[in-house]
Amino acid sequence: MNQNTVMIETELGDWRRTHYSDRLSPQMADSDVTVMGWVLSVRGHGNISFMMLKDKEGEIQVLAKAGSCPDEVREKISRLKAHSSVGIKGTVKPSEKAPRGIEIIPKEIRVFSEVEKIPPFEPYAKTVKNIDTRLEVRPIDLKRKSLQHIFKARSKILQAIRNYFYENGFLEINTPKMIATATEGGAALFPIFYYNKEAFLAQSPQLYKEQLTMSFEKVFEIAPIFRAEPSRTNRHLAEAISIDVEEAYVDYNDIMKRIEDLIKISIKTVNDYFKENTDSEFITVNMPDKIPQYTYSELVDKMQKVGAKTEWGDDLYPSNLKKIGLSGFYFIKDWPIGPKPFYVKMSKSDPKISESFDLMFGDLELSSGSTRVEKRAELEERMKNKGLKIDAFEYHLRAFDYGMPPHAGCGIGLERLIMSLTGTENIRDATFYPRDVDRLTP
């Protein structure tokens, strides 16, 4: 190639990547490759420029040296700023000090987008304190190694959870996210215009997944839920991902066993990921032989014994859970029936309690589940007691006229599960684009 006639292209054209960074090795010495990614850094030393290129699998060192590559290519590389998107055609050479023991001697470069603006924070810094600053340019923030590991682990966990459901005969479903009535009553709803009617964003797929047990017996859904709760904490979102399960001919004890299986699978998955990615700096999560179960009444007694101000029927607040020293994963079961939604089944042994549970990690609630009411008359009675309009739920109730099976289920908050498995302190770093009481963009 004539070094004085090289054109610096800016379009992809017929260029296609031949290798990701993790596929390059010293055994490929003298091979010609095409790599693409973002500029991490450029360092110049006289007639030599070093460029670090990052793709989704890692880093690649590019060595542009006078006499070894075209002058125009070397000069262009020397002027590039971090985050510019580029493609390089070049030759692989061994280099002990470079990532994966190789570097690329460039022959051609295409600059797909050249960056002039400096980000408001250093994206490759280990920590950036102001989360709002980060969220304003979230795609740049998500380049940070710590977040890359969180979301790659998240993807592996979702894959493992889906595999579990498929292997155990569950059908993946998708239920409406625009609904006519509140699933559970209450005011924590986002109203929307639906043609000429008022509708709401779904708080959960609860009623639909119950109905679908009549058709398919075992169903699951991984999808958004919407809660208009004005909470400004590091564990609440207005839009979250829920892993929902519903199964026919079982009760809440069977669903707790399902959750125990899912937690063990998730722990193994995330621990395997951390072992393969030693730079992740996450702590290995302990695998429980069995997730402990405590009744609501047991924990109220424990709280009272340590002087916590709580009475039977009160919610179990995080501050009180901390006082009795509960940690790791555990279930709280047999909650009072009073505050529970209308579809939660009453205990046969005690009308004051319900066949329900919460899965906890320390003081963080990850999941709620229960045995469901399967008889229409009982559902209607529960609705009346809660002041709900029975007519508004006729679309749901009519299914119970045609042989609704006994069934149970739960919903697991994916973001909170990721927090517990990766040690993430702020739930906004467990979702790509957080939605909360203060944030509707980006």
Q: Give the residue carrying structure tokens 């006519």.
A: 180
Q: Using CA atoms, how far apart are residues 375 and 354, in angstroms rounded to an integer?
A: 16
Question: Does the annotation list 229 as a binding residue?
Answer: yes
212 marked as part of a ligand binding site: no
Is 84 annotated to bind a ligand? Reply is no
The encoded tokens of residue 260 equal 């125990």
So what's the architecture of 21-113 in CATH? Beta Barrel (2.40)
**Per-residue model confidence (pLDDT) at position 37:** 97
For the chain, counts of helices (H) and of strands (E): 11, 16
Which residues are CB-contacts of 386 (< 8 A; sequence separation ≥ 6)? 185, 342
Residue 368 counted as an annotated binding residue: yes
Residue with tokens 């119970």: 400
Report domain extents, the chain.
Answer: 21-113, 138-430
The CATH class of the 138-430 domain is: alpha beta
Residue type, position 359, single letter: L
Residue-by-residue pLDDT tens, the chain, 442 positions: 444 445 678 999 999 999 999 999 999 999 999 999 999 999 998 899 999 999 999 999 999 999 999 999 999 999 999 999 999 999 999 999 999 999 999 999 999 999 988 888 887 777 788 899 999 999 999 998 899 999 999 999 999 999 999 999 999 999 999 998 776 655 689 999 999 999 999 999 999 999 999 999 999 999 999 999 888 999 999 999 999 999 999 999 999 999 999 999 999 999 999 999 988 878 778 888 999 999 999 999 999 999 999 999 999 999 999 999 999 999 999 999 999 999 999 999 999 999 999 999 999 999 999 999 999 999 999 999 999 999 989 999 999 999 999 999 999 999 999 999 999 999 999 999 999 999 999 9
pLDDT at residue 122, as a whole number? 81
- The reply, when asked if residue 74 is annotated as ligand binding, is no
- Does the annotation place 388 within a ligand binding site? no
What is the per-residue pLDDT for 370?
Answer: 98
Residue 413 annotated as part of some ligand binding site:
yes
If DSSP states are collapsed to H, E and C, what string results for 362-430? CCEEEEEEEEECCCHHHHHHHHHHCCCCHHHHHHHHHHHHHCCCCEEEEEEEHHHHHHHHHCCCCHHHH
Instruction: Please determine whether the domains at 21-113 and 138-430 fall in the same fold group of CATH.
Output: no
What are the DSSP calls for 42-79, one per residue?
Answer: EEEETTEEEEEEEETTEEEEEEEEBTTB-HHHHHHHHH
Is 9 annotated for ligand binding?
no
Query: Annotation-wise, does 276 bind a ligand?
Result: no
CA 300, CA 315: separation in Å to the nearest integer?
A: 10
Known binding residue 210? Answer is no
- 228 carries a ligand binding annotation: yes
How many C-beta atoms surround the C-beta of residue 439 within 10 A? 15
Looking at the whole model, is its pTM more than 0.85? yes
CA–CA distance, 229 with 243 (Å, rounded to integer)? 20
